[in-house]
Amino acid sequence: AQSVTQLDSQVPVFEEAPVELRCNYSSSVSVYLFWYVQYPNQGLQLLLKYLSGSTLVESINGFEAEFNKSQTSFHLRKPSVHISDTAEYFCAVSSGGGADGLTFGKGTHLIIQP
């Protein structure tokens, strides 16, 4: 069985400040890791994913996440946030690279304060 823990349900930060959203997972098999973002009243959009290779993965809008196998973590970071980053962020794990269903964390609401 797999599980994902997002330690913070809400993270308030000031605009242009750095942010880290924490994600830990547990699994008995090799996993693939994902971060999805959900804007109000919308579906989920893939932000970035780790399948193999380099443990540091980046998105096109400045987010990055690092896979740490020893700590079973996949924390999401951004050096400088914008108001437009306000959203719900979900960490997810899959043993099939997304070919099977995703197991999601409870989500972290990122609140950007001006």
Partner 1 sequence: DAGVIQSPRHEVTEMGQEVTLRCKPISGHNSLFWYRQTMMRGLELLIYFNNNVPIDDSGMPEDRFSAKMPNASFSTLKIQPSEPRDSAVYFCASSVVGLAGGNEQFFGPGTRLTVL
Q: What residues line the site for partner 1 (CB under 8 A)?
A: 32, 36, 41-46, 49, 51, 90, 96-107
Shortest Å distance, C-beta 103 to partner 1: 7
Shortest Å distance, C-beta 21 to partner 1: 15
Closer by beta carbon to partner 1, 36 or else 81: 36
Instruction: Show Cβ contacts of residue 56 under 8 Å, excluding neighbours closer than 6 positions.
Output: 64, 65, 66, 67
- DSSP 3-state helix, strand, coil percentages of the chain (rounded to 5)? 5, 50, 45
Shortest Å distance, C-beta 36 to partner 1: 8
**Residue for token pair 């197991």:** 103
